[in-house]
Amino acid sequence: MLKHIFVLTGAGVSAESGLGTFRDKRGEGIWARFDPMKLATPEAFAGNPEDVLAFYDMRRRNLANAKPNAAHRALARLEGALAARGGRLTLVTQNIDDLHERAGSRNVIHMHGELLKARCQHCSSVRLWPEDLSPADACPDCSRTGGLRPHVVWFGEMPLHMDEIDRALSQADLFVAIGTSGAVYPAAGFVADARAYGLRTFEINMDPADNADLFDEQRYGPASETVPAWVEELVTKGWARNDR
């Protein structure tokens, strides 16, 4: 019986909430309109903090108008259903939005950080920060200006909670990746790690990910339909474990 399911989500899970993805086969993702090297690296922030902060101000305002969709709600249901039978869901998201939490998920690991928090580069304090950020803002903890940045992980920076993630992966029975292109490491490497740990692997996506051949099973379609259908099957038709 399935006891511990490890789910990795990406931008595709929030696409139908109106937040957009980074890359897509139609060339309409965020990185087709904005250059990630100018907006999502520590070097960009050091050289041009105004542009970087304005990009994240725009994303924060979009998030304020977004609502969780049926995929977020289904994953919250899965967490509750597993807990009720003594099991566990590990939900790791690459997304910096808070839509999993707003849908009711209680334990969400944000490996690429959180848009609604700011971090001070001077004193490392992390605070809730739902408003726009400016280089003139003073850190509430150390009072220095110019150091506050979005609490997100940029290219070249180490993702967060990696030890906790690897521990959970090594203990799980099933690895499921939802709405992620498999283009960005280390998250794109989790499926290979999962296979090495002997887990079954399952991809739920709109289009096949770059690493689709590493999954034992795939389902393609909009997350708002595929994820609730998968959770409904698990909850109503049983939790048979299907080892590799």
Would you tell me which residues interact with ligand BJW (CB under 6 A)?
10-12, 15-16, 21-24, 29, 40, 94, 96, 112, 152-159, 179-181, 183-186, 205-207, 209, 222-223
What's the min distance (Å) between Cβ of 165 and ligand BJW? 13
Closest Cα to residue 173, out of 204, 193, 194?
Answer: 194
Active site residues: 112
56, HSE (Cβ side, Cα atoms, 13 Å): 32
Identity of the residue, 14 or 173, whose beta carbon is nearer to ligand BJW in the bound complex: 14
89 touches 79 (CB < 8 A): yes
CA distance 67 to 240: 33
Tokens for 171?
Answer: 């203990």
Identity of the residue, 70 or 199, whose beta carbon is nearer to ligand BJW in the bound complex: 70
Identity of the residue, 112 or 200, whose beta carbon is nearer to ligand BJW in the bound complex: 112
What's the min distance (Å) between Cβ of 241 and ligand BJW? 25
CA distance 64 to 53: 16
CA distance 187 to 53: 25
What's the min distance (Å) between Cβ of 205 and ligand BJW? 5
What's the min distance (Å) between Cβ of 101 and ligand BJW? 16
Identity of the residue, 66 or 87, whose beta carbon is nearer to ligand BJW in the bound complex: 66
Q: Which residue is nearest to ligand BJW (CB)?
A: 12
CA distance 19 to 38: 20
The CA R_g of the chain, rounded to the nearest whole Å, is: 18
For strands 88-93 and 4-9, give the pairing.
Answer: parallel
